[in-house]
Amino acid sequence: MYTTEKFDPATFAPARFESDGEIQLRGQQIPYHTVSEDNVFYDASGKPIASIFSYSYFRSDVKDVANRPVLFGFNGGPGSSSMYVHAGFLGTTRVFYEETDRATSLPPYKSMDNPDCLLDIADIVLVDPVGTGYGVLLDENSADKFYGIEEDAEALLVFIEKWLHRYGRWTSPKYLIGESYGCTRAATAAGIAATRSHERSYALAFDGIVMIGNTVTTGKYFEREVPVEHAVVAFPSYAAIHWYHNHPTEETLEAFVKRARAFADTTYLTALYRGESLTGDEREDVIRQIQDFTGVSRQYLTDRALRIDDESFRLEVIKEKGASVARFDGRITRPRYVPEAVENVTGVYDDASSDRYGAFFFGVLTGVIFPKLNIHLDRVYVPAACMYDLYTKKDRWNREAPMGTTGEQLRNAMCRMHGLRVFFTNGYYDTATHIGIIYYMLNHAGLPMDRVSLKGYPSGHMIYIGEDNVKTLSDDVRSFVEGAMPSD
């Protein structure tokens, strides 16, 4: 990868920037201090091999921080920087994203003081993992120490451990806020912290975890090796997107999705199991109901033995309008320039939602937020590093997790850290991490459900797209940190 800064481990100098600011939150003028810095990892010889870059927001008028919560926030990927949660949700300045289905990804980009920021009740730390954002891998031979499910999670723990030492915050309540693969990272890190890694243990306990766009699973990783029909798990999301674009009913989104889920869990699941043994009338009745809930055509269903898949659904649901919907946010559309495109090859890289807000978030983060944080760094900021290349099939990420699946790790954490609470949040219009995956996982992971809550939002993968959504999500996370268990 090209770079504009020479990374010589022998002469590498960690960067550190500080700033001060004020923001009005809930009728209070809140002064704050920020520290943006490299957090360097060293090998046994003392040579720097990698750095996690962090952005810490401290409320500066609090004299006693012993019981003041700290929120550690990060995105996913694997390979994503913290750009989205930083500029969209948790920072003191955020994007002002008006029309969800913007006509273009071009400027102007609006930003604002974040009126929903949680800095009045907690200090906030945004995390760029190694190789993402301003986080760097200094020694390519050390990539396998960071690029993997368990390796990445343990690097996060080491970073948090050193951060708590540096700022004297071991007694503070600690929360993880992970989005997408960040849920995998959070669950695995919490599980390792509660038990041990391959080489050591950690005296580190978390009070709560917020999961945004869930990737916690009972399978090997994400949905791999989960014995369930994907079409059934994904059905609520298909129904939500159909409801949004085609208005099939006067019901609310929540009521329609609830009925769709009940149908998927019973009639649809049984129909897929029975296959060709369905009688003609039974089959036609199932087809009619699937069409009512999802908007796909009869021909589509008969061609696919009643099964719906994500890629073809996104091309099918509004094809009569000459458009397809985005993977990360089904509210966002694109003209079907090439209707026959194989979206399961190009979709991850060529997603309409990323096209609309990727440049927007990058522009606000680097052009507005970083100057406010006094960051002046001649280093390439990597919004997302591709750890898996769909074209070459090259995978830099170790997806083996011998210490247990993410579902098992989360159960380990919750059973050993008595009092640890988890709040799952998911957008109904998300076909990257379906809300149905959470329903299935919660039914099979053996979690202590009295400390688990789940809420669906009328949004996509990044729940905070849209002013109503970012306010609702922030209010819910605020309530969670203050001890409540938000839910639908």
The pLDDT assigned to 334 comes to 86
Rg (CA), the chain: 23
Pairing state between β 70-74 and 123-128: parallel
Q: What mean pLDDT is predicted for residues 184-196? A: 97
pTM of the model: 0.95
- pLDDT at position 94 over 70: yes
The pLDDT assigned to 347 comes to 52
The pLDDT assigned to 1 comes to 58
Q: What mean pLDDT is predicted for residues 123-128? A: 98
CA of 198: how far to CAs of 129, 142, 403, in Å? Answer: 20, 17, 8
449-473 pLDDT, tens digit each: 999 999 999 999 999 999 999 999 9
CA of 248: how far to CAs of 11, 41, 133, 154, 186, in Å? Answer: 63, 55, 42, 47, 38
Distance CA 355, CA 332 (A): 10
% of the chain with per-residue pLDDT over 90 = 84
- pLDDT at position 23 over 60: yes
CA of 296: how far to CAs of 230, 251, 420, in Å? Answer: 16, 19, 42
- pLDDT at position 444 over 70: yes
CA of 4: how far to CAs of 21, 48, 346, 381, in Å? Answer: 30, 19, 29, 10
Distance CA 177, CA 421 (A): 12
340-379 pLDDT, tens digit each: 555 555 554 567 888 888 999 999 999 999 999 999 998 9
Structure tokens at 126: 């945004």
Closest listed residue to residue 359, CA positions, set 78, 17, 83: 83
Residue 225, exposed/middle/buried by CB under 10 A (0-12, 13-18, 19+)?
Answer: exposed
Q: Which long-range contacts (CB under 8 A, 24 or more apart) does 303-309 make?
A: 305/275, 306/231, 306/268, 306/271, 306/272, 307/229, 307/231, 307/272, 308/231, 308/234, 308/235, 308/238, 309/230, 309/231
The pLDDT assigned to 121 comes to 98
The SS3 call for residue 95 is strand
Distance CA 3, CA 137 (A): 12
Q: What mean pLDDT is predicted for residues 100-109? A: 88
The pLDDT assigned to 389 comes to 80
Q: What mean pLDDT is predicted for residues 380-396? A: 87
What mean pLDDT is reported for the chain? Answer: 93
134-170 pLDDT, tens digit each: 999 999 999 999 999 999 999 999 999 999 999 999 9
